[in-house]
Amino acid sequence: MKYKADKVFEDLKRISKKSIPVRTLYEKNRVRLSLRSVNGLEKSKREITDKNLHRPGLALAGYVDLFTYHRVQVMGNTEIHYLQSLPPKQREAAFRRLFDFPLPCIIITAGNVLEENLVAIATEHGVPIFSTKHETTKAVYFLGDFLDDQFAPKTVIHGAFVDVYGIGVLFVGRSGIGKSEIALDLVERGHRLVADDIVMVIRKGEGILMGSGSSLVKHFMEVRGLGLIDIQSIFGIRAIRFQKRIEVVVVLEEWDEGAEYTRTGLDSDEVTILDVPIPLVRLPIFPGKNVTVISEVIALNYLLKHYGYDSAKAFAERLKSIIEKKAEAEEKSDPMIDWFEHDFE
Amino acid sequence: MIERTVTIKNKAGLHTRPAAGLVKLASRFRSEFFIRKDGIEINGKSIIGVMTLAAERGSQLTLVFDGEDEEEAARTVCAYFDEGFGEP
């Protein structure tokens, strides 16, 4: 069956989480953010449903009309100092007001300490409180990044993903066309395998696609006729990497007489994965064609473009200027003589 | 296109041997064959893909067949699941 790249990328199943349990947030950030569980509710199954954070200053002050209570609540110096500025009774009432809403959890930053009677209110409502010694800005940065990742759209692509000269090149094509063999060849030439067969793709921020292997398969690869091989054990640590930004997609196709392939590279193709446009190269293959070397050139050419040099455009410019010069010149020159003029060897 | 839901019946789950058997079986047909589990969809003709699922006993998989011989493929592959890959 013919491999239709556009359709394959259009049909990709998006996987995105609707919610994560609070315990996951705690477990994944415990070390990184030195999170400490204040009221022993770190095993809570309360759900976080929003990737954004919220600072409940206004809610403490009494304005709860637009209170985004479903977000993780971050209480920094401002909130804590505000609470301390209130007389004890009002302080308790202000804090208690937050729990009219089903909060997922509260994070106290900058080494602040919440009074015991206030902690008790949270415990009574089953809301976990964590504290960190890090400043609010840093905590918000880390937590935001973590939640962004957790809620980021993901998908799985059938292909081989290799870091070629630092450029993430994703090979796709029908099964059996030789994606794994090309990846193996690239590894042999000193490039690094990220994943073969199953490529997990996640969108980071806006416009960045990261690819990685699945945790089970890691850097195993199936080569038809050989079976399963372990790239890391055979080629060593230099031959692998865990994740890489996807920068170019290469579609491997059987050479098709009828199809038109770009001859100049001026009209560049694109494919959209998880709403991110990625340059696409259609590569017709046939026996005897060295796809590995071409892949290296694809990566290097992308690198050149990234640094502002477009080979195809540069050639077109040169041609244009020579034609213009010719038109201006009065005497026609002999191209062969001009070419050899400066070569004395 | 045909969709079928199957359950893993054998004790050891979809480990290497049945995964290899499944891929071999599926490769006999021209139809495309995908397996879905936990929101992930993989190519059922790829051994690495099938093993990525790490499907344990009792887990449910959705099989998708698409192509000219999809009915025969669905029947054969589902039977392989139903007999627990010939394992206890």
- CA distance linking residue B62 with residue B72, whole number of Å: 17
State whether A223 and A265 are in the same domain.
yes
Tokens read off for B10 = 């054998």
Element housing B69 (H / E)? none
The total number of structural domains that make up chain A: 3
Q: Which of A1, A15, A222 minimises the CB distance to B48?
A: A222
Chain A contact for B1, CB < 8 A? no
A190 with A250, same domain: the answer is yes
A22-41 pLDDT, tens digit per residue, is 999 999 999 988 999 998 88
**Which tens digit of pLDDT belongs to each residue from B29-84?**
989 899 998 878 888 988 888 988 889 999 999 999 999 999 999 999 999 999 99
Which of these three, A103, A122, A150, is where a domain ends? A150
CA distance A302 to chain B (A): 30
Inter-chain CB proximity A228 and B47 less than 8 Å: yes
Average pLDDT over residues A191-217: 89
Q: Which residues of A are less than 8 Å from B42 in CB distance?
A: 156, 158, 198
Among the options A4, A14, A43, A158, which is catalytic? Answer: A158
pLDDT band at A257 (very low <50, low <70, confident <90, very high): confident
Domain shared by A212 and A85, yes or no: no
Q: How many CB atoms lie within 10 A of CB A117?
A: 11
- Domain contains A89: yes
pTM over 0.80: no
Whether the predicted pLDDT of A43 surpasses 80: yes
d(CA B18, CA B8): 11
Instruction: Identify whether A10 is part of a domain.
Output: no
Model confidence at A331, in pLDDT bands (50, 70, 90)? low
What CATH number corresponds to the domain at position A139?
A: 3.40.1390.20
Residue of B15, B43, B46, B47 marked active site: B15
End residue of a domain, out of A150, A166, A189: A150
My answer on whether A168 and A282 are in the same domain is yes
Q: Label the pairing between strands A47-48 and A53-54.
A: unpaired
A165 and A256 inside one domain: yes
How confident is the model over A263-311, as pLDDT tens digits?
Answer: 777 777 889 999 899 999 988 888 788 899 999 999 999 999 888 888 8
The verdict on A92 and A104 lying in the same domain is yes
Hey, is the C-beta of A42 within 8 angstroms of any chain B C-beta? Answer: no
Q: Provide the domain limits for residue A133.
A: 20-150
B21-60 residues touching A, CB cutoff 8 A: 30, 32, 36, 39-43, 45-49, 51-52, 54
Q: What is the ipTM of this complex?
A: 0.74
Q: Are A294 and A322 members of one domain? A: no
Same domain, A166 and A204: yes
Residues A270 and A286 in one domain: yes
Residues A299 and A318 in one domain: no
Q: Are residues A100 and A142 in the same domain?
A: yes
Question: What pLDDT is stored for residue A342 in this prediction?
Answer: 65
Considering the domain boundaries, does residue A4 fall inside one? no
Contacts of B49 in chain A (CB under 8 A): 158, 197-198
Under 8 Å between Cβ of A222 and A180: yes
